[in-house]
């Protein structure tokens, strides 16, 4: 590749994974220093199918021993599947073949599976978590949450999402991954139709609950209608999220900044590594608490949607740190 070229990686019909070049400059970025053959690592997110090829957008690269984050607005970089994996390269004639490797952010001693080149670790100057923190109501965040109620923040387009068998099973595995005290009954209660995430379209037989609904975790009412997230992409105060700043909006794309509901669902490990989840919390005047169904522990909810969603950026503050924000902590002076 030439220094002035952008690069992307495609999967050819015969299964080969090849580095190609766009042969043009965009955003003034010079990619000449990237050396995949000597341990630089790329991370795949998102999927796009075009002309019979499957392209996977990448969101970050490790080069020369540190994490490198592009301004990705309009950046045409793609990396071959599977989404959520990390790759290094091996020279094969005129092609560069990609091989899965470990996440360099999770293992300082991770190494590539081809010729064992050393995978660089994150330098002290690069922050592991660069994105946005959702403000709590008491910090000036979403103002409509009543006292004692779930501190939810809906996207601007409030569209429902059916909870299929696959989504329910993924949700249950995610919740129990973070909290072993969760059982099927408690998971069901979190999605009761009179509680935040499935308002009027969840489990239960009470008036307005919307139930009974098909529950694939307990095996009940499987002949009934699916429950729904009544506002897909809804989040809670204290959450860490990645997204794109567009004017006065924070825009999130499925498969890039959250789980793509239209694609095969990722593994729990991929969801956790990409921070495509949040903890359900309840608002009190000067404190925030985990949902009671967690019995004192966290209740993890997938950040899942099937289309681009947007939030007022005034509900967020920038977050750059080596640790995720504490979802129960107020980082700003309270205004209530």
Angle CA 238–241–242, to nearest 5: 155
Residue 72, φ and ψ in degrees, nearest 5: -85, 5
Is 329 domain-assigned?
no
**Coil, helix or strand at residue 188:** helix
CA distances from 123 to 43, 63, 108, 290 (A): 17, 10, 11, 34
Strands 58-63 and 53-55: unpaired
- Is residue 70 located within the same domain as residue 154? no
For residue 75, the enclosing domain spans 7-101
**Are 141 and 202 in the same domain?**
yes
Euclidean distance between CA atoms 223 and 207, whole angstroms: 20
Q: Supply the pLDDT for residue 101.
A: 61
**Which among 101, 120, 142 is the end of a domain?**
101
Domain end among 51, 85, 101: 101
The answer on 63 and 210 residing in a single domain is no
* Domain-embedded: residue 327: no
Q: Are 254 and 261 in contact (CB under 8 A)?
A: yes
Which two three-digit tokens encode residue 285? 């005047």
184 in a structural domain? yes
CA pair distance 230, 237, nearest whole angstrom: 18
In a domain, 108, yes or no: no
Looking at residue 67, its pLDDT comes to 52
pTM of the model: 0.65
Q: Which two tokens stand for residue 101?
A: 């490797």
Task: Tell me whether strands 287-290 and 300-302 are parallel, antiparallel or unpaired.
Answer: unpaired
Closest CA to 226 of 147, 135, 183, 165: 165
Neighbours of 83 (CB within 10 A): 23
Tell me: do 53 and 134 sit in the same domain.
no
Residue 106 lies in a domain: no
SS3 10: strand
Determine, yes or no, domain membership for 328. no
DSSP annotation string for 129-165: EEEEEEPPGGGT--TTPPTTSB-EE--SS---EE--H
Q: Do 15 and 92 have their domain in common?
A: yes
Regarding whether 95 and 173 lie in a shared domain, the answer is no
160 and 77 together in one domain: no
Question: Is residue 332 a part of any domain in this protein?
Answer: no
Task: Name, in order, each residue with C-beta under 8 angstroms of 207's C-beta and a sequence gap of 6 or more.
Answer: none
Phi/psi at 190 (nearest 5 deg)? -60, -30
- Tell me which residue has tokens 């599977």: 82
- The answer to whether residue 111 sits within a structural domain is no
Task: Check whether residue 149 and residue 233 sit in a common domain.
Answer: yes
Residues 289, 144 share a domain: yes
If asked whether residues 144 and 97 sit together in one domain, one would say no
- pLDDT, position 285: 80
Mean per-residue pLDDT pooled into runs of 10, the chain (336 residues): 38 39 37 45 51 49 50 36 48 49 48 30 62 95 93 95 98 96 97 96 96 97 97 96 94 96 95 96 91 95 97 96 94 83
> Which DSSP letter does residue 46 get?
-
The alpha-carbon radius of gyration of the chain (Å, integer) is 21
Residue 320 has a CB neighbour count (10 Å cut-off) of 11
Q: How many domains does the chain have?
A: 2
- Which one, of 42, 66, 39, lies nearest residue 124 by Cα? 66
Considering the domain architecture, whether residues 77 and 177 belong to the same structural domain is answered as no
Report the alpha-carbon distance of residue 117 to residue 203 in Å, rounded: 51
150 shares a domain with 50: no
């Amino acid at each position: 590749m030439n220094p002035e070229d952008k690069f992307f990686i495609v999967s050819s019909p015969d299964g080969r994974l090849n580095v190609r070049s766009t042969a043009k400059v965009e955003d003034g970025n010079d990619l000449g220093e990237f050396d995949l053959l000597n341990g630089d690592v790329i991370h795949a997110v998102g999927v796009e199918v075009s002309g019979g090829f499957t392209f996977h957008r990448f969101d970050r690269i490790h080069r020369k021993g540190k994490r490198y984050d592009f301004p990705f607005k309009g950046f045409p970089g793609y990396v071959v599947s599977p989404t959520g994996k990390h790759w290094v390269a091996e020279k094969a004639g005129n092609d560069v073949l990609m091989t899965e490797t470990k996440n360099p952010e999770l293992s300082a001693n991770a190494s590539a599976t081809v010729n064992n080149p050393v995978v660089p670790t994150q330098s002290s100057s690069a922050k592991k978590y660069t994105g946005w923190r959702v403000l709590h109501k008491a910090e000036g965040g979403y103002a409509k949450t009543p006292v004692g109620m779930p501190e939810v923040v809906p996207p601007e387009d409030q569209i429902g999402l059916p909870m299929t068998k696959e989504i329910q099973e993924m949700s249950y595995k995610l919740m129990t991954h973070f909290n072993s005290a969760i059982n099927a009954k408690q998971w069901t209660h979190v999605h009761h139709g009179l509680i935040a995430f499935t308002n009027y379209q969840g489990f239960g037989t009470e008036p307005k609950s919307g139930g009974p609904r098909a529950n694939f975790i307990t095996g009940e009412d499987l002949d009934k209608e699916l429950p729904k997230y009544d506002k897909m992409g809804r989040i809670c105060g204290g959450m860490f999220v990645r997204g794109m700043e567009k004017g006065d909006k924070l825009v999130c794309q499925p498969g890039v900044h959250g789980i793509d509901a239209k694609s095969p669902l990722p593994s729990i490990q991929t969801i956790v590594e990409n921070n495509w989840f949040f903890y359900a919390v309840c608002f009190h005047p000067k404190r925030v608490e985990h949902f009671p169904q967690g019995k004192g522990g966290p209740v993890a909810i997938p950040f899942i949607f099937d289309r681009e969603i947007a939030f007022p950026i005034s509900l967020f503050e920038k977050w750059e740190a080596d640790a995720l924000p504490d979802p129960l902590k107020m980082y700003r002076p309270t205004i209530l």
